[in-house]
Structure 1
Amino acid sequence: MTNRIETYIVDSFTDKPFKGNPAGVCILNQTLLDEQMQLIARELGLSETAFITQNKESNKYSIRFFSPKMEIPLCGHATLAASKVLFEIFPKMEKIHFKNIQDLDLSIKKYGDTIEMEFPVYDTVPQNTPKELLKALGIKQIVNSEFNKEAKILLLEIESSELLENLSPDYEKLKRSHNLINGVLVTAISKRDGYDFESRYFWPWSGTNEDPVTGGTHTFLSKYWSMRLNKKKMNSYQCSERTGFMEVELVSDKKLTIKSEAQIILKGELKI
């Protein structure tokens, strides 16, 4: 018997189609094996695909995320994409609760076209960066180097957003330069009007080469820049080729809100 899965592609962290970060969203009406979800994510070829299943209550769902290479515990842009789809299907719904594989309760609210997501706040600790990694990224000098253990991501602050935008990494050398991380987040103070900081995320170890706009990294990036800038509410810009934006606010030491928009660009039916 063929299983038909309602499937979407959604551009997250943008107010324009074909910008931001595209995510797959699959609405499941029956359980899939992990291997099946991994194959679907690989077939779609997007940085992440979200698989959502409704729980007993109408606005509560389980959510899992897969890159083309592996399961990802927490993903911001795919959560935003899944929220956009559900708010589109159920226009009277104003709040959603997602439960991820880490048993985190992700609370989502709708304000017109804007979607607000509650995410946890994580810390970073100082960590040395291999010279080979910096060379592969094309970075000669850094301001700071930190590590987030929850996501296993290395955070590098560099001196300017212009340098950040012009980075062109050698991804094969980047993969060989480190074997204990999932990705490298490079960030800088923004000189664009209306934005506080910028970032780019490279993760050839566990996903695609570059994730165009990354909500999950803001679980620790927001606290990092909050301490550097002495601000609780900030505007973030991801200066990848596709670009994207979000507003972040540290509500407490443990809770963060991320606000942005998303655009549904494709709806279809997946047959397995």
Structure 2
Amino acid sequence: MEIKTFIVDSFTTEKFKGNPAGVCLLENDISADSMLSIAQELGLSETAYIKKLEGDNSFSIRYFSPKMEIPLCGHATLAAAKVIFKDSDSHQIHFNTVENLDLIIKRQGDEIIMEFPVYDMVPVTVPSIMLEALGIKEIINSSLSEKNKIILLEISDSDVLAGLNPNFNALINSYSGINGVLVTALSKNEKYDYQYRYFWPWAGTNEDPVTGGVQTFLTKYWSEKLHKKTMKAFQSSSRTGYMNVELLNDKVLISSTAIITFEGNLLGIDS
């Protein structure tokens, strides 16, 4: 079996910036083990597998990191939508996730707009060894997105955020039962409202270059702090990336751009 495969840089207007995702177009079902093996072979933070469903412009979508299946991923959704829109006149598609979320994706010029759910957070206390592993001396707030199993830490300085150089061996041993830690700060750059970085050695790679899925709780967090519904977010990883976000009750609209950098075929894949 051959599988049409793409690599797409998401949340950027420049090649080799943003977050690269693999996108595999499936004509036939393949096993979860095969999906994981392909994700490990590509070595990207996530690979999306999409398959056409009955009905107009509807597709199933599944996401795998090199370690495990991920229920929802922003940059891989954006990447998959970029691939579908490339050869389509449609301006709207639906992705159905493994958790039966119906993700509505729209195209508006060069931008792709994704409609994601919004999840609440609860307060959480983090151990000092986690902060030491991250290189953080002081935090403003710590919360947990129980749905995503992600801890949010707010710090006061976006320059400190950009300069973080975690000890990942110490970080992964500092806490259990989570997928990752997101560190965020009010942006000093007037072009953006807030900045963030996402570290997830528990479930994926050490650092996700640009993460859209965290907006399911991060947008609401900053919306309540800044009293704004529409904001601009910047991920200050080494590759960098941006997105516009809008909070609409129990939904968040995430909009940005993506660039296809590779197109080819995976050969000899077993089902």
Q: Same fold (TM over 0.5)?
A: yes
CA distance, structure 2, for counterparts of residue 230 and residue 122 of structure 1: 18
SS in 1 for 2:165: coil
CA distance, structure 1, for counterparts of residue 114 and residue 162 of structure 2: 27
- Counterpart check, 1:63 vs 2:61: yes
Q: 2:11 aligns with which of 2, 10, 13?
A: 13
Q: 5+ residue gaps in structure 2?
A: none
CA distance, structure 2, for counterparts of residue 192 and residue 268 of structure 1: 39
Aligned-pair CA distance for 1:104: 0.4
1:120-199 matches, within 5 Å, as 120-199=117-196
- Counterpart check, 1:264 vs 2:248: no
SS in 1 for 2:54: coil
The match for 1:39 is 37
CA distance, structure 2, for counterparts of residue 270 and residue 156 of structure 1: 39
Q: Give the partner amino acid of 1:137.
A: L
Q: 2:235 aligns with which of 234, 238, 245?
A: 238
RMSD value over aligned CA atoms? 0.5
Q: Give the partner amino acid of 1:173.
A: A
Aligned-pair CA distance for 1:110: 0.3
CA distance, structure 2, for counterparts of residue 180 and residue 93 of structure 1: 41
Aligned-pair CA distance for 1:62: 0.4
Q: Deviations over 1:55-114 (max 9, x none)?
A: 012300000000000000000000000000000021x11101000011000000001110
CA distance, structure 1, for counterparts of residue 108 and residue 198 of structure 2: 28
CA distance, structure 2, for counterparts of residue 186 and residue 95 of structure 1: 33
CA distance, structure 2, for counterparts of residue 187 and residue 52 of structure 1: 31
- Identity within the alignment, %: 57
CA distance, structure 2, for counterparts of residue 227 and residue 112 of structure 1: 30
Q: Deviations over 1:170-212 (max 9, x none)?
A: 0000000011111000000001122000000000000000000
Aligned-pair CA distance for 1:19: 0.3
Q: Give the partner amino acid of 1:15.
A: T
Q: Give the partner amino acid of 2:197.
A: R
Q: Give the partner amino acid of 1:44.
A: L
The match for 2:248 is 251
The match for 1:88 is 86
Q: Give the partner amino acid of 2:61.
A: I
CA distance, structure 2, for counterparts of residue 241 and residue 193 of structure 1: 20
Q: Deviations over 1:154-173 (max 9, x none)?
A: 00000110000000000000
Q: Give the partner amino acid of 1:264.
A: I
Q: 2:223 aligns with which of 201, 223, 226?
A: 226
The match for 2:102 is 105
Q: Give the partner amino acid of 2:57.
A: N
CA distance, structure 1, for counterparts of residue 63 and residue 13 of structure 2: 23
**TM-score for the superposition, normalised by structure 1:** 0.98
